Structure 1
């Protein structure tokens, strides 16, 4: 459900940018910043990276509703989580002005649409009733710690707290990974 939430938001921002800036390419990509080996994870430059940097349990569960199919399982209660999502401008050094522009576009987008529901975002997954984006202010020390933990140098960025996703075991579906090889290959019998 985390992937579904973040990919939907990324797509929505891209559609907004394409419409307002009259561009054809996706400027917002859902990606880590660096790979485990320290290499850059983002494909290409001059993009805004959407990166999950933390998951936190929601402690104040005042009103939780389930909009998906099925009923709650009282034997295994739900858990509600908040996501911390970093929007960072991964632009080449000679394109710093563009990095700041796209960072501004991102902030402006969330000022005009800080809540995602099925009514205003038809592509939102059925298991998600609402996502609310809140701008997080990090002081210099916390920001420095975050970038050090991410293993990379600072980029112009903004952090949002996304409230809240509700999990129970109803989201687990059968997983079928893609099969490598040609159409003529067969799998061994089990």
Structure 2
């Protein structure tokens, strides 16, 4: 499900960039691990001259985990684990280093990458909430468990120290990037863990009082 959500963001962002940059022919945004790119000594050429979306961390939103596991289905009590609310930390990296670069030939690869990175910020500024209704995607439309999904994307600034640790963990030199936090509400697989029997009647027991005479 997480891959589907990330691919949805890639598709929406790609559509936006292609609409405002007529000179771009290939999809400008890809989903991948930036730590494996050519710029960092790897061999993943499909990320070259692209905006690369990488999932660098995810945590559960524990403050929203207080939902009751009990529900009633046709008057039959059921116990189902509450949904999971996730925070996905998304790194958008401008991976433009080849001599040709993308976009207009009159610009350097670095300039092209900065321009597309600005497009990323503009896109999420104009739309930061994604649902199956306002961002239809075939994989989400065909998945019943994702019909109530709601993705809220917000800018996540880092300190210089955090930036240093981030790129150090990725194993390479820093490139132009922007970080976002995507709150996913909710993520749930319908799976009943236990069912109870229908309540048909009530029985009560009373204690008989015993009088003791002295």
**Structure 1 length as normaliser, TM-score?**
0.76
Between Structure 1 and Structure 2, how many residues are aligned? Answer: 164
2:54 aligns with one of 51, 56, 61: 51
The equivalences for 1:126-165 within 5 A come to: 126=141, 127=146, 128-165=148-185
C-alpha change, 1:4 and 1:151, in structure 2 (3 Å) is: same
C-alpha change, 1:119 and 1:161, in structure 2 (3 Å) is: same
C-alpha change, 1:53 and 1:165, in structure 2 (3 Å) is: farther
Does residue 39 of the first structure (1) align with residue 42 of the second (2)? Answer: yes
Larger radius of gyration: 2
Measure the CA separation in 2 of the matches of 1:129 and 1:77: 15
Name structure 1 gaps, 5 residues minimum. 65-69, 172-190
Structure-1 residue corresponding to 2:132: 118
Does residue 89 of the first structure (1) align with residue 109 of the second (2)? Answer: no
Does residue 15 of the first structure (1) align with residue 18 of the second (2)? Answer: no
Q: Is the 8 A contact 1:34 1:151 kept in 2?
A: yes
Measure the CA separation in 2 of the matches of 1:133 and 1:44: 23
Structure-2 residue corresponding to 1:177: none
Structure-2 residue corresponding to 1:107: 121
Q: Give per-residue Cα distances to partners, 1:109-168, cap 9 Å, x unaligned.
A: 000011111221111725152101010010000011011111121110000000024333
Q: Is the 8 A contact 1:85 1:162 kept in 2?
A: yes
Aligned-CA RMSD value: 2.7
